[in-house]
Structure 1
């Protein structure tokens, strides 16, 4: 049992109790536009949000005065009048993301603009609730101290964990290696321990959210994230927002692949193939730092998983008509780049052309993708 007298090391910056809002609806419309459309000026905000000019002037002045927004580059506006590109003020607040992995935790800290300040991975032999909460707090406090972050600017916390939601009550059926976390309210566990507003998604959805805010996914309004890690899954981004589905399980791409027909494209299979060829790796979560594309066994793995990736890519393209498929998770970028030219998306050829197909690109969030994505959850929930 967790101690009821635990005093958290971290403190929330803002009182966000039940019914309280940090930003009103009009302010959120402004923030969402400024965040996703990076050439935004006050005058263009009026056109894009339909908020009257006088009201807009007052709201923008207030947001700048509260250090939420700041004036960026000066440009020449209509009729030669100077104007400023509006930007998020990264120093206004920061968020913490926690990734509960199968044999480790990772932590990431993002500033208010979505920039990664710090991230770290810590292997653990004990993945019990008590140990994970305690070690997450210690690691987060260490990063905050190292980067001299203000203790009173913490917006909230996000958590990514392997599993699927069983209903709308926040409980998850977690991976069998995370038995202690199964069918408990994970959001409540973290929020009670840290006394912070907390949001929880599965690991693949978290990684997709992070890619959409801090990675190459920011170039696309709609994309599918192919999460290649200990298992295979995915996350969906629609019009910049996370597509959760009814129970929070949208993007379970692994369930699309019949295991008797296809080999799942995951890194545990790669690990076994490498070991068979005399290459031993300590953890798939550190693979990004040690991977060699010329290792014996890499070619065998890419050949074995190609059919499954063709199937998933074709289904995602046909059903969702996304702009991009982003290959990420804990797969090394070099390996993702090796896979991409091999993936074939099937489409009808009619009148000399196919329907528009998505780009296939590697993720650009290389370190701690789940924790980075989890750290975006408070910003998405409160501001966008």
Structure 2
């Protein structure tokens, strides 16, 4: 019931009753209990579309509590605080090989600042969601890219939980970014989407009927596995673009500086985009065939001009049969920006405990 209210901000008590497989009396009783517990608020009365009485709009109570989110990437950390209704504030800071303890200390400082900004106390937080670049191993730890190699030795959920004295849920950055997109971005229009996360590496998150798909080992969307070792050097990972620009003699020091570099050396970026386009097209066609999404979202840290360049080079391999071609997904650029993976990470405790 809470999930239904979350998914539709325009929901009224009457429209929710019509959706639920419960009697009107049962729905009203459950909503009254949620109201008494402080989870929902009854908003203004909304006139019915047809005959009937006005019905109150259902609102999640933002002051019921909050959740904290962290996203660890190769050169930066995003931090978020999300209230019960989905409102959020964020911060970020740069890292460059900083020790685990040093990063946790800075996260702690960011938590204090965000909680104060959102007017919450530590005891109002129900948990922490922590996302990291990399895939999940059988021992429950993550195997991140080279700049975060020292984090592979960390039991992330346990370390974060013990450090902040809160329950912790973990996932990879592509998944939490996809979750954020599903809840606040293009997921409002598409229930089935694939989120391509262009960062130092290249991954994906799969949303099926509004829910994140994890797979048997927690690595659904680990699309780097489809490349041969030779092809892996020509996949559309921004870390490889960074190396390409440096080899060409351009002073580009981090992923965040790539956007400015595109404006300075567009021809050099275009050469790289042409080289990696075949691998990207394979991914686009693979996720189309396997996940059958309505939309493929270009997200992560990719600058918008580069995302558009990839879309311009995209090619679907589907062939007509008997004069017809199967439905194909839209290719869209995420408009969320900011700390998308951290915001998605903050969703993890709320979804696990309440939604």
Q: Same fold (TM over 0.5)?
A: yes
What is the match of residue 27 of structure 1? none
Task: Give distance in 1, aligned partners of 2:324 and 2:264.
Answer: 37
What secondary structure is seen at the aligned counterpart in 2 of 1:234? strand
Is 1:159 aligned with 2:142?
Answer: no
Q: Deviations over 1:196-240 (max 9, x none)?
A: 121000121121111111222332111111111101111111111
**CA positional deviation for 1:266:** 0.9
Shift of residue 261, structure 1, vs aligned partner: 3.7
Q: Tell me how far 1:250 sits from its aligned partner.
A: 0.8
2:128–2:346 contact (8 Å) kept in structure 1: yes
Which residues in structure 2 correspond to 1:178-193 (within 5 Å)? 178-193=148-163
How do 1:105-254 residues align onto structure 2 when only pairs under 5 Å count? 105-115=77-87, 117-167=88-138, 169-254=139-224
- TM-score, structure 2 normalization: 0.91
Deviations, residues 16-39 of structure 1 (Å, cap 9, x unaligned):
xxxxxxxxxxxxxx1111222344
- Secondary structure at 1:345 match in 2: coil
**Aligned twin of 2:251:** 280
Match of 2:330 in 1: 359
Distance 1:268 1:175 in 2: 10
Distance 1:377 1:286, change over 3 A: farther
Distance 1:171 1:291, change over 3 A: same
**1:271-329 deviation digits (Å, cap 9, x = unpaired):** 233334554233214656x4644633221222122111110010111111111111111
- Whether the 8 Å contact between 1:128 and 1:178 is mirrored in structure 2 is no
* Contact 1:72 1:85 survives alignment (8 Å): yes
Counterpart of 1:15? none
| Aligned residues: CA RMSD | 2.1
User: 1:65 and 2:36 equivalent?
Assistant: yes
Higher helix share: 2
How far is 1:349 from its partner?
Answer: 0.5
State the secondary structure of the residue aligned to 1:108.
strand
The counterpart of 1:255, out of the listed 203, 225, 228, is 225
Number of paired residues? Answer: 352
Q: Could you tell me whether the CA contact under 8 Å between 2:69 and 2:128 is conserved in 1?
A: yes
Is 2:310 the counterpart of 1:339? yes
Partner Cα separation in structure 2 for residue 188 and residue 98 of structure 1: 14
Q: Distance in 2 between matches of 1:292 and 1:90?
A: 40
1:311-326 map, 5 Å: 311-326=282-297
Q: 1:154 to 1:285 in 2, by over 3 A?
A: farther
Per-residue Cα deviation, 1:327-355 (whole angstroms, up to 9, x for no partner): 11111123212321321121120232210
Distance in 2 of aligned mates of 1:146 and 1:319: 43
Task: Please give the secondary structure, in 2, of the residue aligned with 1:349.
Answer: coil
Alignment of 1:45 with 2:16, yes or no, is: yes
- In 2, the alpha carbon distance for the partners of 1:217 and 1:375 equals 17
Contact 1:333–1:366 (CA<8 Å) still a contact in 2? no
State the TM-score, normalized to the length of structure 1.
0.85
- Write out per-residue CA displacement over residues 59-104 of structure 1, whole angstroms, 9 at most, x where no aligned residue: 1122223332223453222524111332323332222111122233
Question: How far off is 1:126 after superposition?
Answer: 4.1
**2: CA distance between counterparts of 1:180 and 1:292?**
31
CA distance in 2 between counterparts of 1:240 and 1:103 reads: 30
Query: Would you say the 8 A contact 1:264–1:308 is kept in 2?
Result: yes
Conserved? CA contact 2:12–2:46, under 8 Å = no
- Provide the rounded CA distance (Å) in 2 between the counterparts of 1:86 and 1:44: 10
- SS for the counterpart of 1:107 is strand
Partner residue, 1:74:
45
Distance in 2 of aligned mates of 1:41 and 1:202: 35
The 3 A distance-change label for structure 1 pair 146 and 42 is: closer
CA contact (8 A) 2:71 2:78 kept: yes
